[in-house]
């Protein structure tokens, strides 16, 4: 079964063709990162306009790359929740129109569910597919959750962030350190002392033990990341010798390059330690689990990958937003008995939970 997956929930316009939920026949991702690096973050209006221009060419390329025409496609899947309203609208309206035009069943997929299913897209790692019951750590720019999955398409949220998402925390700390958006990759590069042109010979790789940040005291399996962002801010202010009223956006120019590298490494280590700690607590609590999967943009992080050697991670290129994971999620929904949605009625839900 060949499914065309369409993803436009944030700032990537993406489409892919996936066979039987696991084999990628094509995967096209057009990122708007270059646009938003200039602004230091996503501007929803601009994102929606860019999707409008890119969506059809991206879908056409996904079909061409997979050597498919419409007759070969068995179903269309699209992200309809959660995400930016305008961005979600472009993808879902396109998918609805195409489903009606080409008479294809249409499936609406939750964005976090699709991130989890990136772990079913085979990457030749030889690990095989994840086994149930499992725990999924979903870490993105908007979410930080631990999910218990007894079987395909069944999700129970057992831990969630009470404030910022971990990806958001990377993005905010990057701003404090004067590093470009998105913060995750730029903090990782800075921590390893990689500049725009590779390893910076004048700098040592970041000392992750140089600055100590407290772990939040949150009971159970919930997270909190807003305190960590503030702790980094206070530590930077202290390091450069200015009062806590000093504006955060002016701090970066007072830091030496080596201080930036050390702050990046120390912050990254703390964020990773917090995630690993909670995931370990969850696996002590849910003793029947057979696999742990990690998903979402932050799952690209190399330090986190190194800290969880037994866990499943998507291929790095599939950690961020893409259409292949949407098609994979839809395939396993269909296997679980989910019926297609009405293309004349499909709605978008910018804020809905994965449990609904």
Helical (H) or strand (E) element with 244: none
Chain centre distance of CA 140: 4
CA angle at 142 for the pair 140 and 143, rounded to the nearest 5°: 65
296 touches ligand KG4 (CB under 6 A) = yes
Binding test (CB under 6 A) with ligand KG4, winner from 8, 99, 119, 171? 171
d(CA 303, CA 172): 19
Could you give the string, one character per residue 136-165, with x where binding to ligand KG4 holds by CB under 6 A and - elsewhere?
----xxx-----------------------
Nearer to ligand KG4, 98 or 173 (CB): 173
How many alpha carbons lie under 13 Å from residue 6 in its C-beta half-sphere?
32
Nearer to ligand KG4, 75 or 298 (CB): 298
Nearer to ligand KG4, 63 or 325 (CB): 325
Closest alpha carbon to 138 in 118, 112, 119 = 112
13 interacts with ligand KG4 by CB under 6 A? no
Please answer whether residues 118 and 295 qualify as being in contact, where contact means their C-beta atoms are separated by less than 8 angstroms: yes
Rule CB under 6 A: say whether 185 interacts with ligand KG4: yes
Q: Collapsing DSSP states into helix, strand and coil, what is residue 20? A: coil
Footprint (CB under 5 A) of Zn ion, residues 125-144 = 140
Give least dist CB 80 to ligand KG4, A: 14
Contact call for residue 29 and ligand KG4 (CB under 6 A): no
Q: Which is nearer to ligand KG4, 2 or 215 (CB)?
A: 215
Contact assessment for residue 128 and residue 115, using Cβ atoms and an 8 Å cutoff: no
323 near ligand KG4 (CB under 6 A): no
Residue appearing with tokens 């690096």: 37
Of 130, 133, 137, 131, nearest to 158 by C-alpha is 137
**Token reading at 150:** 């007894």
Work out whether 25 is an interface residue with ligand KG4 (CB under 6 A). Answer: no
H-helix segments, 73-165: 85-102, 111-117
Of these partners, ligand KG4, Zn ion, none, which one is at the site of residue 298 (CB under 5 to 8 Å by kind)? ligand KG4
Q: Does 87 bind Zn ion (CB under 5 A)?
A: no
Interaction of residue 206 with ligand KG4, rule CB under 6 A? no
Q: How far apart are CA 95 and CA 344, in angstroms?
A: 11
Site string (269-308) toward Zn ion, x via CB under 5 A? ----------------------------------------
Q: How many residues bind ligand KG4 (CB under 6 A)?
A: 20
Which residue's structure tokens are 């029947």?
Answer: 288
Beta carbon of residue 88, minimum distance to ligand KG4 (angstroms, whole number):
12
Q: Is 262 exposed, middle or buried (0-12, 13-18, 19+ CB in 10 A)?
A: buried
- The answer to whether residue 92 forms part of the interface with Zn ion (CB under 5 A) is no
Question: Which partner, Zn ion, ligand KG4, none, binds residue 130 by CB below 5 to 8 Å per kind?
Answer: none
Asked if residue 12 binds Zn ion (CB under 5 A), the reply is: no
Structure tokens at 132: 């149930």
Bridge partners for 81 per DSSP: 110
Q: Is 342 exposed, middle or buried (0-12, 13-18, 19+ CB in 10 A)?
A: exposed
In whole angstroms, the minimum distance from the beta carbon of 295 to Zn ion comes to 9
Binding mask 319-338 for Zn ion (x = CB under 5 A): --x-----------------
The least distance separating Zn ion from the CB of residue 194, rounded to whole angstroms, comes to 24
Residue found under tokens 């037994």: 310
Q: Which residue has the tokens 């999700």?
A: 155
320 binds ligand KG4 (CB under 6 A): yes
Instruction: Give the footprint of ligand KG4 on this chain (CB under 6 A).
Output: 10, 140-142, 167-168, 170-171, 182-185, 188, 296-298, 300-301, 320-321
Residues that bind Zn ion (CB under 5 A): 140, 321
């Amino acid at each position: 079964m060949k499914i065309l997956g369409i993803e436009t929930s944030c700032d990537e316009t993406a489409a892919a063709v996936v066979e039987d939920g696991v084999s990628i026949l094509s995967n096209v991702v057009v990122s708007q990162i270059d646009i938003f690096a200039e602004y230091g973050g996503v501007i929803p209006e601009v994102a929606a306009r860019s999707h409008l221009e890119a969506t059809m060419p991206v879908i056409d390329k996904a079909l061409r790359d997979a050597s498919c025409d419409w007759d070969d496609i068995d179903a269309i899947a699209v992200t309809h929740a959660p995400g930016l309203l305008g961005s979600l609208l472009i993808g879902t309206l396109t998918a609805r129109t195409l489903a009606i035009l080409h008479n294809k069943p249409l499936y609406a997929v939750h964005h976090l569910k699709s991130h989890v299913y990136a772990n079913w897209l085979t990457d030749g790692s030889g690990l095989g597919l994840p086994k149930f019951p499992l725990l999924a750590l979903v870490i993105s720019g908007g979410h930080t959750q631990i999910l218990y999955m007894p079987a395909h398409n069944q999700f129970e949220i057992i831990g969630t962030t009470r404030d910022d998402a971990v990806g958001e925390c990377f993005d905010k700390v990057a701003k404090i350190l004067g590093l470009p958006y998105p913060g995750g990759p730029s903090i990782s590069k800075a921590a390893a002392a990689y500049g725009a042109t590779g390893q910076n010979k004048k700098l040592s790789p970041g000392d992750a033990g140089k600055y100590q940040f407290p772990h939040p005291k949150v009971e159970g399996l919930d997270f909190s990341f807003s305190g960590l962002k503030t702790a980094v801010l206070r530590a930077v202010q202290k390091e450069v010798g200015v009062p806590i009223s000093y504006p955060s956006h002016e701090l970066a120019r007072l830091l030496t390059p080596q201080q930036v590298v050390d702050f990046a490494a120390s912050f990254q280590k703390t964020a990773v330690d917090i995630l690993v700690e909670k995931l370990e607590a969850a696996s002590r609590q849910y003793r029947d689990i057979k696999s742990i999967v990690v998903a979402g943009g932050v799952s690209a992080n190399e330090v986190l990958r190194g800290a969880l050697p037994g866990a499943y991670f998507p291929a790095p290129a599939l950690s961020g937003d893409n259409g292949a994971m949407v098609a994979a999620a839809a395939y396993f929904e269909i296997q679980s008995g989910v019926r297609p949605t009405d293309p004349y009625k499909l709605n978008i839900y910018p804020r809905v939970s994965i449990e609904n």
